[in-house]
Amino acid sequence: MKLYTIDTGLFKLDGGAMFGVVPKSLWNKVNPADDNNMCNWAMRCLLVESGNRLVLIDNGLGDKQDDKFFSHYFLNGDDSLGKSLRKHGFSEDDITDVFLTHLHFDHCGGSVKWKKDRSGYEVTFKNATYWSNERHWEWATHPNAREKASFLKENILPVQESGQLKFIKDREELFEGFSVREVNGHTEAMMLPLLQTGKHSILYCADLVPSMGHVPLPWIMAYDMRPLVTLEEKTILLEEAAANNTIFYFEHDLKTECCSLVKTDRGVKAGPAFPLTELL
């Protein structure tokens, strides 16, 4: 199994929303806010090469939204999905599987693109199977009022209409060494890939632990639908990760790609931070 970091760009979100009940005097040291209280965040995806499978985990914000939309999220940086794939010698047509941890726009927006004549949408990865699960798909396509703005139908429905959508179940393996763990605090049935490379166990944290700064238990996003469930899920996964030497891979941390976990007499803490290339 080979792993490649796929950087799709940076965007900004309100610091208070990202850190929930944690006071700004604390979180501002972790990710300093600008004058508008906005913090910059990565949209860091992961490409998994195993045998004849080339699996892309999440795919960023995409570029098909209008100027008003982008004015809210301040897309910035030099990276893009296509550029990052080409950096590693791949193209969109090489992808065999697109694994979507969940269907919030910053995780699945790259799934779909404009047709050349802008008459409608088409899937970005024409040769890929797109993976979600039934519970989350139902949740996203019939959203509640609080979460509706995060589920954009143009990111989601064309995938189903293409006939390339399949569902996977909790604890099921996509293939050997790639298993799925469902969590329900951030949103209904978000999926966390757990990768066993032979040398390392790596958890793709998605929005359960979006950054290294969110490793401490109380550091939970205000975006989460069920924060107390997130708290329980983090407690379990942190203990398991520390016991099994599992490495956390962060989707949204501006600087840190990975860290180990260390069990102390005051609970599980983040250990040393390092880039994914140190594992390869």
Q: Measured in Å, how far apart are the chain's first and last C-alpha atoms?
A: 10
Looking at 37-140, which runs of residues are DSSP E strands? 38-50, 53-57, 97-99, 112-114, 121-123, 129-132
Give dist(CA 152, CA 38) in Å, integer: 22
Tokens of residue 12, six digits: 């900004």
Looking at 73-200, which runs of residues are DSSP E strands? 97-99, 112-114, 121-123, 129-132, 165-167, 173-175, 178-183, 190-196
Q: Are 225 and 262 in contact (CB under 8 A)?
A: no
In this structure, the chain runs to a length of: 280
Residue 29: CB atoms within 10 A of its CB come to: 9
Q: What is the dihedral of CA 156, 257, 217, 11, to 10 degrees?
A: -50
Give residue 280's pLDDT. Answer: 81
Give residue 219's pLDDT. Answer: 98
Give 221-254 as a DSSP string.
Answer: -TT-S-HHHHHHHHHHHHHHHHHHTEEEE-SS-S
- Backbone φ/ψ region at 70: left (φ over 0), alpha (ψ -120 to 50), beta: alpha
Give residue 137's pLDDT. Answer: 98
Give residue 185's pLDDT. Answer: 98
Class of domain 2-279: alpha beta
Which helix (H) or strand (E) segment holds residue 8: the answer is strand 2-14
Give residue 146's pLDDT. Answer: 96
> Considering the entire predicted model, what is its pTM?
0.97
Give residue 27's pLDDT. Answer: 98
pLDDT per residue rounded down to tens, the chain (280 residues): 999 999 999 999 999 999 999 999 999 999 999 999 999 999 999 999 999 999 999 999 999 998 899 999 999 999 999 999 999 999 999 999 999 999 999 999 999 999 999 999 999 999 999 999 999 999 999 999 999 999 999 999 999 999 999 999 999 999 999 999 999 999 999 999 999 999 999 999 999 999 999 999 999 999 999 999 999 999 999 999 999 999 999 999 999 999 999 999 999 999 999 999 999 8
Which sign, positive or negative, has the C-alpha torsion 195, 199, 201, 204?
negative
